[in-house]
A = this chain, B = another copy of it.
Amino acid sequence: MTYQQLFEFIKAQKSYLCVGLDTDITKIPSHLFVEKDPIFEFNKQIIDATAQFCVAYKPNTAFYEANGAMGWASLEKTIEYLNSNYPNHFTIADAKRGDIGNTSAMYAKAFFENMNFDSITVAPYMGKDSVAPFLGFKDKWVILLAFTSNTGSQDFEELVLKNEVKKLYENVLETSQNWADENNMMYVVGATKAESFKEIRKMVPLHFLLVPGVGAQGGSLEEVSKFGMNKTCGLLVNSSRGIIYASGEKDFAIQAAKEAQKIQSEMAKYLELYL
């Protein structure tokens, strides 16, 4: 998917919501256990119910790996279902990968060639050659961890570098712009860091930001939108638990749709205000 296609879809949907598919076998409704693949069945129903309110889906690989090879098959079926039925939705493998070149190339094969995800989240710690193998695919995206939503972000991401006023994550934002531009790189910036969005936007005015941390983690959608939105929206705001576990009963998909719609309505308002 291209930058422009993503922007057009955001305008059409009046939404920049990403639904996080952190599907936990211990949290899905019990009536699904008659299905051959309860995880996939859950995802399928969540996707069908929420697709009109969002522009992206983000399966979190940890939750699939926790079920072993069967879990990996659920992930493959989920992305195949998305690509076949919702080709306009942007897909994110939330995998936080990153390793030496020949290994990152294998991860790129797994997520881009085999599963045909639009994008993958990548950890920057190991530097350029650990990220580069993901950048060689047409219309595929790297979403690089910059300033994450968790408390541990203060341990290293916020460290200030010598002879600079810049923090490590700001250095990540700056340096990585030599590797790729806004057409194939995005950044993860946590919603719990809303006050930082102004400064971050000075450094990366055009890039899309993937923003986790609204909902269960306490970030404010209003502040993120106010300080983070640019002329092409430039935001994909993720909600996982708040949507997919809105109900643990048979009505889980209906309740998920309601939660997604609630966020989408708010987003439509912010798109009018700030775009």
Contact = CB atoms under 8 A, between A and B. Distances in A.
Interface string A71-86: 1110010000000000
A69 B73 contact: yes
Contacts of A45: none
Interface in A50-90: 60, 62-63, 65-66, 68-73, 76
Number of chain A interface residues as a range: 35 or more
B123 A152 contact: no
A128 interface: yes
Interface in A97-143: 97-104, 106-107, 109-110, 114-115, 123-131
Nearest to A113: B66
Given A126-B145, A155-B175, A161-B161, A100 B150 contact: yes
Contacts of A156: 124-125, 127, 168, 171-172, 175
A76 B68 CA distance: 8
A91 interface: no
B106 A62 contact: yes
A109 to B, nearest CB: 5
B157 A110 contact: no
Contacts of A152: 126-131
A203 interface: no
A125 B150 contact: no
A73 B76 CA distance: 14
Interface in A151-186: 151-157, 159-164, 168, 171-172, 175
Contacts of A72: 65, 68-69, 71-72
Oligomer copy total: 2
A264 interface: no
Given A69-B69, A156-B171, A123 B98 contact: yes
Interface string A12-37: 00000000001010000000000000
A114 B68 contact: yes
Contacts of A172: 156
Contacts of A103: 22, 60, 62-63
Given A127-B150, A156-B125, A66 B96 contact: no
A157 B69 contact: no
A63 B106 contact: yes
Contacts of A114: 66, 68
A255 interface: no
